[in-house]
Structure formats: structure tokens, C-alpha cells
Amino acid sequence: MVSTVTAARDIAAQVPDPELPILTLADLGILRDVREEAGTVTVTITPTYSGCPAMREMSHDLRHRLQQAGYPEVIVRTELSPPWSSDWITEAGRRKLAAAGIAPPNPAHRRVAGPIPLTLTVRSRTIACPQCGSLRTAETAAFSGTACKALYRCVECREPFEYVKEI
Amino acid sequence: MIEDEFGAYHALTESEDDHRWAFGTGFTDALEGVDTGVAEGIDGDALAAYCLMLGDDALIYSHRLQQWITRAPELEEETALGNIALDLLGQARMLLARAGRADGTGRDEDRFAFFRDEHEFRNVRLVERLDQDFAELVARLLIFSAFRLALFDGLRASTDPVLSAIAEKGVKELTYHRDYAASWVVRLGDGTELSHRRMQAAIEVNWPLLDELFTPHAVEAALAGVAVEVGTLRAEVEAVLDTVLATASLDRPDLAPMAKLRGLAGRDGVHTEALGMLLAELQSVARAHPDATW
């Protein structure tokens, strides 16, 4: 018999992301904490971007699934700090992204002291094409269908693809 | 897998408890589950006024960016502008929600966005103007995001934990916004004779509104440790602008700041005529159907 909090955590972890349903909230690293006290489950999540319109759907879906599983009292908390980093996407999440044709993020830049550096040219990242694996890829747009992705194309196989930006 | 995909959209398709993000849907708590208590020694009214200043900048400018949707020169730029506008709207939602908690009125973001009149808005005048071309768009986005990035970078150290968290998150977003605008200013400034001329003109249109960004306000003075002293940001922001202008072969304008009205400007609720027209559009549905739900 697994403890109730473990069971609740498993349910919360399996909730899919509304924008990228191939990933679960746990894969994406936005599930911060699941607690159970006196029958009330408290789930803490964090937004990827300030304007992420999926937060409400996630919160709703979490509540719905946990209630279906027999936890009538569910509280979903938002935690803003520290802010989400693409580094929090798990290894499993990265594999699922790549399998879906979306390039997973490179490590986020470590912040150094002083003013935030300005990038005036197209970012030169080394990104492998999720279709053919070639490293000869180029950014075509800094933003894509969602705020968290940039648009790329492969110079080798000519396929366009999305890349989850490092933040 | 199929079941999971269905599950992901469950909240969108369920009819009895509908929470979509639009006016009248009850989707109004950007800080749900966040501890929004105001610490001892912090003036709640001043904190609320400060949140409105920063929130209104983002709200009004987000609306101006949204007006470019279906009008951008390329699909990629439209997507970029939509995403930038969404980031700013997200920042605005949290800041307006924070204002309603801090002043004790409990007003939600809709109340602030749709039911205040022009003189109650606290945004700087830079964000109000209707862009006349793409060069004006990127010129203003550069100035705005360079300023807001420096401001949010400073705000990370705020003694108000909610403001600090909003800023910490916003810094990552604004870094992308500033880079996007800067790369376009360079491309157009350092492009053809025509694009150079129009980019220079666009910088000059926006330049007189730069000074207001660094003008200290009584609200900031009342929030030592919570608010950022904007005067201290000037050197950093101007250094960024100078770097971009030099790389773009553009001249730094030598223009007087836009006049104020008896010393008052955007942060005091004194705006350009463009804001009234913007608000007429932004608020029209909410005002025509104040009790609407759907």
C-alpha cells in the first residue's frame, strides 16, 4: 500500500501540459510540491512564463484528476520564486520532446554580476536537428507558436523544427 | 496517450465550471495561491500605486503590441510580437492583482483594466502612442524593454517578496524582448538608405519620451527598499541604447524631453491624447456589458 501522498503525487505528476501534451507537469519541471494533510491535497506549481495561459487549465486539470482519484479537497498553489528554468525539464521530458520533433533546450545561461548582456546578432546555439541529427541548423525566428519556443530549420535535411528556448 | 490528450483539454471543454481567460469568465486571479500579505512597515497604498505604475506600463504597451497582430510584415514577426505582448500581459495581470490586495480594496485585474478612467492610469507616456510603421514599433520596443529590464533587474532585490518574484521571472522574458528589438533596429538602421532614414526618424519620434522614464516619483520615494530609484537606471539604459544606435549606424538624437503639464506626466495620470483612444477600444466590451458572463 503506497502512502496517500505518494499516490497523490503520482496523479499530479501525470497531468499533461496543455500546450505540450506529450509532456507531463513533472517532465516539464513545473510541479514543485505535493502535500497531503488531513485529507487535503496541496499542489504547488510554477508558471513557465508570466503570461502562460495554460496555468489555469493545469490548475483545473490537477483539481479534477485528484478529485476523480478520491481526494475531494484540493488546493493548487502558485509559486513564482525561484522562477522556472528550462533546466528543470527532466531527462525523460527531453527524450519525449526530441521524439516529438522538438529540440530540447540547451543549459540556461548562468547569470554573472553586472548589467544583463545584450545580444545583437542571431544567437549561435549548437542545436541538433531532431529529424536527422545534423548540427547544421539555424534559427529562423526567435519566437514560435508558444513563448517558450524558437523556430529553427535544418540546413541538411531542410526540415523546420521548434526549439525550447533556454531560460 | 489519447486519453491524456483529452485530459489536457478537459478544462477547455467542460461546461459547468468554465474558466477561460477573457473578460466576464471569472478568470481573474493572476496570483491565485500566492501569499500576498503586505509586510510590516510597508505602506500598502504606496505599494498599490507602485504596482499600478509598473502594471499599467505593461498593460497599455501590451495592447499596442496586440494591435500589430494581422498587420506585421511577416508571420514570424507577428508571432514574436504576440508572444512579447503575452509576456507583458502576464506581468500586468500579476501587478494589477497585487495592487488590489495591497490597497485592501480587493479589486481584481479586470476592475483595474476595464473600469478606470484615463486619469487613473499610471503608465509612462512612452507606451501610449500608435505606431506609424514597423520602425517605430521596434524603436519603442527597444527603449521600453531596455528600461523595463534594468528596472526589473533592480526590483529583484525588492523587500516585497511578490514584486521580487514577479521581477525575477520578468527579467528572463525582457532579455529576449530587448534582444529582439535591438536586432531589428540594427538590421533596419544598417540596411538600405530608405530603412536607415525611417529607423532614424522612428528613434527621434520616441526619444522625447525617454526622459520621463527616469523621473523620480513620490510613490517610489515612499517605498525605500521596495521600489527601484529610476534615476539610477539612466546610465545603464542609455549605455545599452548607445551601443545599439552605434551598431546600427544611427545618430543619438539631441531632442528636448516632451513637455509636462504643470510638472505632471504619465505617472501622475496626465497622458497624451492617444491613451483615451486606446482605452476606448480596450474597455469597450467590458463597459458595454459590465455584468456579462460567458
Q: Is pLDDT above 70 for B3? A: no
CA distances from B87 to A2, B146, B219 (A): 40, 15, 25
Q: How many angstroms separate the CA atoms of A140 and B72, rounded? A: 16
d(CA B45, CA B103): 5
Condensed to tens digits (0 to 9), the pLDDT of residues B167-176 reads 999 999 999 9
Residues 184-243 of chain B with CB under 8 A from chain A are: 186, 236, 239-240, 243
How many Cβ atoms are within 10 Å of B65's Cβ, its own excluded? 27
How high does pLDDT run on average in chain B?
Answer: 90
Per-residue confidence (pLDDT) for residue B137, from 0 to 100: 97
Determine contact: B173 vs chain A, CB below 8 A: yes
Give the one of B153, B162, B182 whose C-beta lies nearest to A118's C-beta.
Answer: B182
Residue B9 pLDDT class (50, 70, 90 cuts)? low
Q: Cα separation of B67 and B131, whole Å?
A: 9
Is the ipTM above a cut-off of 0.90? no
CB contact under 8 A, B7 and A61: yes
Decide if A144 and B79 are in contact by the 8 Å CB cutoff: yes
Every domain of chain B and the residues it spans:
41-288
Of A15, A24, A52, A116, which to mutate for an interface test with B (greatest number of B Cβ within 10 Å)?
A: A116
Which of the pair, B8 or A124, is modelled with greater confidence? A124
Pairwise CB contact (< 8 Å): B7 & A16: yes
The string of pLDDT tens digits covering residues B177-221 is 999 999 999 999 999 999 999 999 999 999 999 999 999 999 999
Calpha distance A155→B3 (Å, rounded)? 36
Q: Which residues in chain A have their CB less than 8 angstroms from residue B89's CB?
A: 51
Highest mean pLDDT among A148-152, B23-27, B243-247: B243-247
Q: Which residues of B touch A50 (CB under 8 A)?
A: 87, 90-91, 93-94, 166, 169-170, 173
Q: Which fold has domain B41-288?
A: Ferritin (1.20.1260)
pLDDT at B2: 44
Nearest residue, CB atoms, B179 vs list A51, A57, A119: A119
Are the Cβ atoms of B164 and A165 closer than 8 angstroms?
no
**Structural domain spans, chain A:** 4-78, 100-164
Considering only the top CATH level, what class is A4-78? alpha beta
